[in-house]
């Protein structure tokens, strides 16, 4: 059956590279949202904790509950704030403050230019006042960069905006507040990290999306996607394969079906522009809900061992390749 192999050594290599940038393992917050970018929430949470990571970031309380025991703090990006010793909650809008439970630990997200989530720059003073009035515990202030993986000045513009936010927080008298703005791209390109935390997502899983002009940090893909043989058959010249018969055998050949399809989160793609597996085998004809067909008789084949390279074939990004994979696929640590 289809299986995802999780390479522990590669994961730890990547975390070491990040730690060299931050100067401390304690400054790394492991982003585990969306089933740890498809790698397996509990598996990656446990591995990160064993490595020494003390902080995690997830999407909601449901995810947080599954890894709560592993970390000192868990930042929840998208749920209403409740009082808890481990959980902290992102404030994405002023209404989140009004709806928060008294005594909850919160981290104020400020929109410094991405214009997705976070309060506006001119709402910072109001937000700080309301947090205090509501009886919430402000433990963090953060932002998110929109173009850290691109050349240009936008990153520096947002950093300057965030520095002014820090000044407002200090001026308002808040103490023991952790500041964090760096995502994977930002930490990979930085040479002087001075904040309290970095939220590391895709880099920890082995992908450096920065273009060539930046100093290169070598990362190793953590995930390898395998598929198992279901059935084999011989085709005569001219026999056609799969739905619509999009592939026609150019000569007599032996093919097999393997247990992976779009029902498992694998892209359907374009049968006229076949995906080439990590072993150099083109997918023959259309991807089915549960199966692909390859010219192979191997019991197990490697479909993908580098999501960044696979993504190029589909005109997408590594994030989409990994997060789309079904949680039902078995994940094994090697």
Residues with catalytic function: 33, 243
Tokens 């397996």 sit at which residue? 40
Q: d(Cα 64, Cα 59) in Å, to the nearest integer? A: 8
* Of 223, 126, 226, nearest in space to 168 by CA: 126
289 marked as binding residue:
yes
On whether the CB atoms of residues 45 and 10 are closer than 8 A, the answer is no
199 within 8 A of 57, measured Cβ to Cβ: yes
8 Å CB contact between 329 and 258: no
User: What's the rounded Cα separation, in Å, for the pair 312 and 185?
Assistant: 19
Nearest to 298 by CA among 272, 280, 315: 280
Q: Is residue 116 marked as binding?
A: yes
Start-to-end Cα distance in the chain: 17
* Other residues' Cβ atoms within 10 Å of the Cβ of residue 65: 12
Find all residues with CB under 8 Å of 154, minimum gap 6, and list them.
Answer: 113, 145, 146, 147
DSSP character for 158? Answer: H
Distance between CA atoms of residues 53 and 146, nearest Å: 26
Pick out the residues of the known binding site for substrate.
116, 289
């Amino acid at each position: 059956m289809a299986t995802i192999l999780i390479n522990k050594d590669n994961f730890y290599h990547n975390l070491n590279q990040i730690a060299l940038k931050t100067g401390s393992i304690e400054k790394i917050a492991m982003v585990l949202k969306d089933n740890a970018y498809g790698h397996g929430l509990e598996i990656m949470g446990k591995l990160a904790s064993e490595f020494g990571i003390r902080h995690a970031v997830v999407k909601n309380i449901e995810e947080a509950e599954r890894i709560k025991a592993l970390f000192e703090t868990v930042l929840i990006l998208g749920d209403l704030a409740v009082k808890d010793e481990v959980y902290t909650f992102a404030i994405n809008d002023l209404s989140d403050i009004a709806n928060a439970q008294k005594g909850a630990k919160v981290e104020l997200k400020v929109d410094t230019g991405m214009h997705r989530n976070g309060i506006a720059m001119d709402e910072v003073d109001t937000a700080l006042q309301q947090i205090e009035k509501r009886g919430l515990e402000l433990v963090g202030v953060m932002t998110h960069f929109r173009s850290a993986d691109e050349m240009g000045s936008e990153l520096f513009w947002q950093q300057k905006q965030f520095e002014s936010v820090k000044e407002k927080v200090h001026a308002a008298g808040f103490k023991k507040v952790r500041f964090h703005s760096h995502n994977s791209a930002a930490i990979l390109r930085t040479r002087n990290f001075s904040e309290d935390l970095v939220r590391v997502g895709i880099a920890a899983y082995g992908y450096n999306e920065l273009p060539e002009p930046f100093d290169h940090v070598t990362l190793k893909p953590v995930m390898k996607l395998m598929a198992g043989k279901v059935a084999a058959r011989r085709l005569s010249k001219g026999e056609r394969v799969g739905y619509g018969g999009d592939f026609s055998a150019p000569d007599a050949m032996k093919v097999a079906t393997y247990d992976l399809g779009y029902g498992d989160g694998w892209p359907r793609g374009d049968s006229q522009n076949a995906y080439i597996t990590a072993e150099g085998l083109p997918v023959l004809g259309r991807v089915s809900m549960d199966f692909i067909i390859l010219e192979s008789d191997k019991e197990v084949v490697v479909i993908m061992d580098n999501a960044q390279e696979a993504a190029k074939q589909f005109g997408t990004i590594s994030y989409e390749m990994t997060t789309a994979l079904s949680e039902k696929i078995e994940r094994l640590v090697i």
